[in-house]
Amino acid sequence: MSIKKKIASFLSRHKPQPEEPESQAAPEPIPESAPEAQPVSEQNEALLELSADHPINTLYNQRRQESGYLPAPRVCLDEDGELPPEMARREVRRLQSALKTVCASRVKEASGKAKHSPRKNRKNGKQEEEAASADAPAALPDLDALPYIFLSSDKLYAWIIIFPPIRKGKELSREMLLETLGKQGISYGVNTRLLDRLAHDDSRYFHLYLLAKGKPAFDGKNGNIVDNYPRVIERILEVNEYNQVDYTSLNLIYNVEQGQEICHLIKPTEGEPGRTVDNQELPAKSGRSVPLPKGRNTEISEDGTQLLASIAGHVEFSGRSFQVKPVLDIKGDVDFSTGNLNFLGDINIQGDVLSGFTVRASGNINVAGVVEAGSTVEAGGDLVVVKGILGDGITTAQSQKSVFAKFIENATVCARENIQTDCIVGSGVYCGGEVLVRSGRGAIMGGRIWAAHKISAKSVGSPSECKSSIVLGGRPCVIFEQEAARREVNALEMELEKLECQPDSPTKSSLIGKVKIKLAAAGLKLQRAKKTLDEQAEAREDVADDGRLECDVAYPGTKITFGDQTLRLHQASRFCVIRQLEGEIVIM
């Protein structure tokens, strides 16, 4: 070859070819690969992650080879975030298994490897498989579009995913969708607008759509009681900016008039049945009714929705029911105009309890004034003395719950729960809970203060070193009952001796009989208290290691006792906590 020919051949080989029009351009071959994964930000618990070897990718690549561009598959049960997370996780697992089975079956059918039913040779009556000719390969089948419906486990949701036709199969039509719905029995809550759109949408394949939504069943609400009075009375005294407590604000008596409503009933509602997407009814439970808490001196209205007071008195919740206790309202003082009071209910005294008088009540006692020297007050509930207890050494105030008083001076006070006051002077206090002397002056001076759990005060004792006894732990209320029973027994025995020295008379016999009955009752009280103390001593419950004294200052002359251990202060201790640790009294 000549040099000219070689140059011409080289130039013609590298000459750019003219571009062909787009209509004549052949489509580039598309590699068979898995579609791009969804961004992590779009993934949620309802999104089914498709692995690279999932059979749906085989169907997707085959369709993409035939039609060109095709959106990547997206299988998400909850695009709008309506499904509960637990349900979404459960249904995704079910869909994963079902979708893999359906896609694998369609891939196998499209490749011509699906099993065919054997044909029967009619001539010889034997069942044989018809062998294909070895020279001519079998033609691959044409498959129509396939709508697949996935039902939730509760049949309240129905989703649809459509697989495209293969080779010369028929495209999706509305008739195909309706036929599939009929076979599955889906007839309730169907999104007809979605059906119309899927019949013509180009991006309908390999996407999961919510096709139908049923109606969940709603159980009825249970009945409810709306109270007009509190069931639990909070006995809390608030301290103002001047460190003073207003004991009149502690309202323990809730008055009610006859016929007034105490509480009312909200009736239960009926359940609302639901319906599945295959038009099956879902039963619903109706709400349960609750009874009105009817107690003593209450009645239910004619329509059965209200609890009314049958008498005027004090409303109290006794654990299971509301009851109305009669309230004895004393407009003035307890004096000769009223005499001694013994009432089965609550007593509200707007004046004072004068010297020498006794007030007993099975409920709460509220005294707006003072309890004077020589008087006795016993409450089955709480005792409130707004202006304080002023005694002379024999004044007694007793409560089966708590005592609230402005001050306690030269009196004996016993409370099974707590005692709260501004000042205690020269008194004997027995408390089954805590003694709080923090408001006002906050001082404990003289006397003996016995608390089962804690005593908290600003100051204990005095700079003049007056003798003040603090006892912690044990059962002080039982000790009080034992001491009171012993005093009563001694007094009755002395009275009985005096009566026996008198000349015989019918009056003497009658008085002796009454005294003996009282003496027997007092003896039983004393025996019961001794038995309780003996049982506690055997169980070693009379010493409480968790008892403690908290004070800003404890002056010399103060004696602190824990069981058999006693500590006497010889110098002032400030901002201290005194308690028993490992059998020894320590100051912290």
The pLDDT value given to residue 137: 53
In angstroms, the CA 585 to CA 578 distance is 7
Q: What string of DSSP letters covers 262-284? A: EEEEEPP---B-EE-TTS-EE--
- Contact of 480 with 403, CB cutoff 8 Å: no
pLDDT tens-digit readout, 188-239: 999 989 888 888 887 888 889 999 999 999 999 999 999 998 888 777 777 7
Taking Cα atoms as reference points, which of 301, 325, 321 lies closest to residue 313?
325
Q: What is the pTM of this model?
A: 0.60
Name residue 581's beta-bridge partners: 584
584's enclosing H/E stretch is strand 584-587
Mean pLDDT of 398-409: 93
pLDDT grade, residue 251 (50/70/90)?
low
Strands (E), 380-463: 383-385, 389-399, 403-405, 408-415, 419-421, 423-425, 428-431, 434-437, 443-445, 447-451, 454-460
Q: What is the pLDDT of residue 305?
A: 92
Compute the residue count for the chain.
588
pLDDT reading at 28 higher than 50: no
pLDDT 10s digits, 109-135: 888 776 554 444 444 444 444 444 444
Q: Show Cβ contacts of residue 527 under 8 Å, excluding neighbours closer than 6 positions.
A: none
Percent of the chain with pLDDT over 70: 85
User: Is the pLDDT assigned to residue 263 strictly greater than 90?
Assistant: yes
- For 213, counting Cβ atoms within 10 Å of its Cβ (0-12 exposed, 13-18 middle, 19+ buried), the class is middle
52-84 per-position pLDDT tens digit:
888 888 888 888 887 777 888 888 888 777 788
- Average pLDDT over all residues of the chain: 83
Residue 583 CB neighbours (<10 A): 11
Q: How far is CA 38 from the centre of its chain?
A: 42
Lowest mean pLDDT among 87-96, 113-122, 376-385, 504-513: 113-122
How many other CB atoms are found less than 10 A from the CB of residue 382?
A: 24
Each residue of 476-527: pLDDT tens digit?
988 888 888 888 888 888 888 888 888 888 888 888 888 888 888 888 888 8
pLDDT tops 60 at residue 425: yes
Show the tokens assigned to 569: 């202060």
Q: Strand, helix or coil at 122?
A: coil
**Nearest-angstrom CA–CA distance, 496 and 537:** 34
pLDDT band at 24 (very low <50, low <70, confident <90, very high): very low
Task: Judge contact between 425 and 441, C-beta under 8 A.
Answer: no
Q: What is the pLDDT of residues 143-192, one digit of tens each?
A: 888 999 999 999 999 999 999 888 888 888 888 999 999 999 999 999 98
Query: E strands, 53-175, where?
Result: 119-121, 126-128, 146-151, 157-163
CA distances from 42 to 49, 71, 210 (A): 11, 16, 18
* Range with the poorest average pLDDT among 20-24, 119-123, 457-461: 20-24
Distance CA 421, CA 305 (A): 43
Two tokens, residue 17: 């070819």
| CB-based burial label for 39 (10 Å; 0-12, 13-18, 19+) | exposed
Amino acid letter, residue 184:
Q
Q: What are phi and psi of 427, to 5 degrees?
A: -120, 160
User: Residue 427 has what pLDDT?
Assistant: 94
Q: Look up residue 107 and give its two tokens.
A: 């891939």
Q: Are 118 and 129 in contact (CB under 8 A)?
A: yes
CB neighbours of 268 closer than 8 A, spacing ≥ 6? 220, 221, 222, 223, 286, 287, 288, 289, 290
Kindly give the residue spans of alpha helices, DSSP state H, lying in 111-151: none
The number of beta carbons lying within 10 Å of the beta carbon of residue 16 is: 5
Burial 567-577 (b: 16+ CB within 10 A, else e): bebeeebeebe
- Tell how strand 341-343 and strand 358-361 pair up: parallel
- Over range 371-399, report the average pLDDT: 91
538 versus 51: which is more confidently predicted?
Answer: 51
Query: Taking a C-beta distance cutoff of 8 angstroms, is the pair 203, 74 a contact?
Result: no
Q: Is 160 helix (H, G, I), strand (E, B) or coil?
A: strand
What stretches of 254-357 adopt beta strand conformation (E)? Answer: 255-256, 261-266, 274-275, 281-282, 298-300, 306-309, 313-317, 322-325, 327-330, 341-343, 346-349
* Structure-token match 């007030």, residue found: 359
Positive or negative: CA dihedral 168, 173, 175, 178: positive
- Structure tokens of 381? 């509930």
Could you say which DSSP state residue 386 is in? S
More confident residue, 19 or 470: 470
Asked whether residue 543 carries a pLDDT value surpassing 70, the answer given is no
Work out the average pLDDT over 548-565.
Answer: 91
